[in-house]
């Protein structure tokens, strides 16, 4: 597990909001938006990298830059992780079943994609263990273009893990659109 610090809820400006939403039956919400990935796609393609694994890296790298996305619950306490790693679904083409692959976030796109491909290809199990609190969960479905998605809910009130989804990108007026924008051009 990555390092974290325990938050003093008495002096935390988000404490009241956390308390309200933490006790909701459905404390999660979904935001859907389109993003221009034209430059990112061009850069990834020029390096002969997997677009899907590159997106996992980009989304999680950007997510790490947003402090509020690194808050979690550990043993009932609110914590702030120094770093959040990745977990993503990966389709087994032979069985047409997906597996959940856990990969530590590295410092470069190229090293991450190489490591993620190696782990995804070698992992035989569909589910290796329950996901930790220190991951961003990504569920790419690059074969399907969609405008909204919903997920099953475990009912665990202390699940504060963001889930990022995206589908197949599509060309719109000569540009490729997907569901993520933040910092793609900076990678």
Domains and CATH numbers, the chain: 4-178 (3.30.559.10)
Q: What is the reported pTM?
A: 0.86
For residue 172, CA distances in Å to 37, 38, 39, 47, 178 come to 11, 10, 14, 24, 10
pLDDT digits (tens, 9 = 90+) for 125-151: 999 888 888 999 999 888 887 777 777
Helices 51-64 and 38-46, axial angle in degrees (round to 10): 120
Question: What is the DSSP code string of 86-104?
Answer: EEEEEEETTTTEEEEEEE-
Q: Which residues of the chain have pLDDT under 50?
A: 178-183, 185
Coil vs helix vs strand at 165: strand
Handedness of CA 112, 117, 123, 127 (dihedral sign): positive
Bridge partners, 35 (sequence order): 178
Separation of first and last alpha carbons in the chain: 26
Residue 175's pLDDT is 64
């Amino acid at each position: 597990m990555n390092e974290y610090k325990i938050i003093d809820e008495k002096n935390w400006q988000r404490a009241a909001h956390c308390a309200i939403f933490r006790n909701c039956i459905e404390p999660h919400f979904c935001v859907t938006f389109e993003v221009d990935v034209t430059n990112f796609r061009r850069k990834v393609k020029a390096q002969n990298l997997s677009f899907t694994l590159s997106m996992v890296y980009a989304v999680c790298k950007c997510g790490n830059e947003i402090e509020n996305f690194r808050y979690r619950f550990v043993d009932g306490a609110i914590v702030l992780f120094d770093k959040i790693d990745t977990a993503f679904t990966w389709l087994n083409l032979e069985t047409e079943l997906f597996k959940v692959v856990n990969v530590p976030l590295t410092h470069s796109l190229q090293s991450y994609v190489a490591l993620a491909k190696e782990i995804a290809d070698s992992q035989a199990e569909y589910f290796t263990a329950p996901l930790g609190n220190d991951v961003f969960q990504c569920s790419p479905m690059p074969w399907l273009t969609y405008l909204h998605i919903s997920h099953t809910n475990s009912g665990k009130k202390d699940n504060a893990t963001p889930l990022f989804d995206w589908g197949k990108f599509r060309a719109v007026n000569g540009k490729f659109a997907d569901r993520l924008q933040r910092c793609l051009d900076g990678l």
